């Protein structure tokens, strides 16, 4: 299994981030074909998890920030009022995934679960602080539970599939 920590000066960081951002553009577009698909499946986070876990903090953070901004500029999704919290949660996800991979040096479903619990837990607190709405803060857990499962199971199998690259 190969896990990397690509640096700011490494051109591979930017090339890989571009690939993961493309994934974070295509996957949400496909999910939005389903009514409330974005809210249910949380697709904007999927490739951020993969990027940060496999290629480290910088590649993950670049993916985390660029994905929602480019999606918003191209498609108006996510809407501007939820863009700050998505950026916060994406950044938390990139940080936690890169840390877990660096610390454990292995792909385990428990590690990915802890990453998801961290970014969702801290993200809920941040969302409540920004919106003053407990309902909004719980939305990813209540409505987006299938997306959390997709991140956990799909993320695990995707990381395992690319483990030797």
Please write the tens of the pLDDT for every residue from 93-119.
999 999 999 999 999 999 999 999 999
Helix, strand, coil abundance in the chain, percent, nearest 5 = 80, 0, 20
Render pLDDT for 43-80 as a digit per residue (tens, 0 to 9). 999 999 999 999 999 999 999 999 999 999 999 999 99
How far is Cα 64 from Cα 57, in angstroms, rounded to an integer?
A: 10
Q: Which residue, 86, 84, 93, is CA-closest to 61? A: 93
Q: How far apart are the first and last CA of the chain?
A: 8
Q: What are phi and psi of 7, to 5 degrees?
A: -100, 170
Predicted TM-score (pTM) of the model is: 0.95
Do the beta carbons of residue 43 and residue 31 sit within 8 Å?
yes
How far is Cα 148 from Cα 154, in angstroms, rounded to an integer?
A: 10
Reply yes or no on whether the pLDDT at 18 is more than 90.
yes
Reply yes or no on whether the pLDDT at 1 is more than 80.
no
Per-residue b or e along 95-104, where b marks 16 or more CB atoms closer than 10 Å to that residue's CB = bbbbbbbeee
């Amino acid at each position: 299994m190969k896990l990397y920590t690509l640096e700011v000066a490494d051109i591979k960081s930017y090339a890989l981030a571009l690939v993961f951002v493309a994934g974070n553009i295509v996957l949400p577009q496909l999910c939005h074909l389903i009514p409330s698909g974005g809210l249910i499946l949380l697709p904007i986070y999927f490739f951020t998890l993969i990027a940060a876990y496999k290629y480290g903090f910088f590649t993950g953070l670049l993916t985390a920030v660029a994905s929602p901004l480019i999606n918003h500029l191209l498609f108006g999704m996510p809407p501007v009022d939820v863009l700050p919290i998505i950026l916060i949660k994406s950044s938390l996800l990139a940080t936690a995934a890169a840390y877990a991979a660096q610390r454990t040096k292995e792909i385990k479903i428990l590690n990915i679960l802890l990453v998801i619990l961290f970014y969702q837990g801290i993200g809920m607190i941040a969302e409540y602080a920004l919106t003053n709405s407990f309902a909004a803060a719980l939305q990813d857990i209540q409505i987006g539970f299938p997306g959390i499962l997709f991140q956990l199971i799909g993320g695990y199998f995707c990381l395992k599939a690319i483990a030797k690259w």
